[in-house]
Amino acid sequence: MQAQQGFRSSCRFAVLALLATLLAGCGINNIPTYDEQVKANWAQVQNQYQRRADLIPNLVETVKGYARQEQETLTAVVEARAKATSIQVDASTLDNPEKLKQYQEAQGQLTGALSRLMVVSERYPDLKSNQNFLALQSQLEGTENRISVARRDFILSVEKYNTEIRTFPGRLWHSLMYSNLPLRPTFEATAQDAEKAPQVKFQ
């Protein structure tokens, strides 16, 4: 009798282990894994935008020292930065397409304002040769490149996640176990073409 119970327990354990292996192989964990990937990539987008925002005050002050008459352009950059940094976003923003769009538009306006500032800077040879300006220009260029990479990675991870919950077998697992996880919105091209980094090279 005891041997039979031990055999049944062993059989149950073996069946459960086999079932767990089969389920894991069928992609049952893909949806939460891809969702975490989306959140991690979104955090990188935010980090790079914050890095850019942190560079702007020094950049504006440096340009102001050589081009005070360009007050309108400088003010536009400062105001665009203020607007972009005033929009509070976190992982929950991924569930709010309207807020994501608002954030994207604010960052696009800042990109446009920075582009205009760089064009204005062309008129001032002394500014273009200033070491502080050159260092800031280099940092800004690097940051814009990192923003492009972070946005691309985020877009790809959203595409992967959304595809998983809309196709089989992910669609099945989504309806059975992860129905609380919605489709994710992603960045879209805007009229300002915000996905392009501003041109900051002066060769």
Which residues lie closer than 8 Å to 138 by C-beta, 6 or more apart? none
| Residue 71 located in a structural domain | yes
Instruction: Judge whether 21 lies within some domain.
Output: no
Q: What is the C-alpha separation between 10 and 80, in angstroms, rounded?
A: 66
Is 166 within the bounds of a domain? yes
As a whole number of angstroms, the distance between CA 103 and CA 174 comes to 28
Distance of CA 42 to the CA centre of its chain: 4
Residues 31 and 73: their CA atoms lie apart, in Å, by: 46
Q: Is the pLDDT of residue 202 over 70?
A: no
Asked, for residue 26, whether it belongs to a domain, the answer is no
pLDDT of residue 77: 96
Work out the mean pLDDT of the chain and round it to a whole number: 85
**How many CA within 13 A on the CB side of residue 34?**
23
Q: Is residue 4 part of a domain?
A: no
The pairs formed by 130-138 with CB atoms below 8 angstroms and a separation of 24 or more are: 130/62, 130/66, 132/58, 132/62, 133/59, 133/62, 133/63, 133/66, 136/55, 136/58, 136/59, 136/62, 137/200, 137/202
* Percentage above 90 pLDDT, the chain: 67
- Per-residue confidence band for 191, with pLDDT thresholds at 50, 70 and 90: very low
In a domain, 188, yes or no: yes
**pTM check: above 0.85:** no
CA–CA distance, 125 with 89 (Å, rounded to integer)? 39
pLDDT tens by residue, 64-94: 999 988 999 999 999 999 999 999 888 888 8
**Residue whose pair of structure tokens reads 């260092």 in the numeric block:** 135
Domain range for 89 is 38-203
Q: In the predicted model, is pLDDT for residue 108 greater than 50? A: yes
Give the integer Cα–Cα distance in Å for 148 and 146. 5
Residue 154 forms part of a structural domain: yes
Q: How many folded domains does the chain comprise?
A: 1
Q: Does any domain span residue 186?
A: yes
Helix count and strand count (H, E) for the chain: 7, 0
Tens of pLDDT, residue by residue over 34-74, are 999 999 999 999 999 999 999 999 999 999 999 988 999 99
Distance of CA 40 to the CA centre of its chain: 9
- pLDDT higher than threshold 60 for residue 98: yes
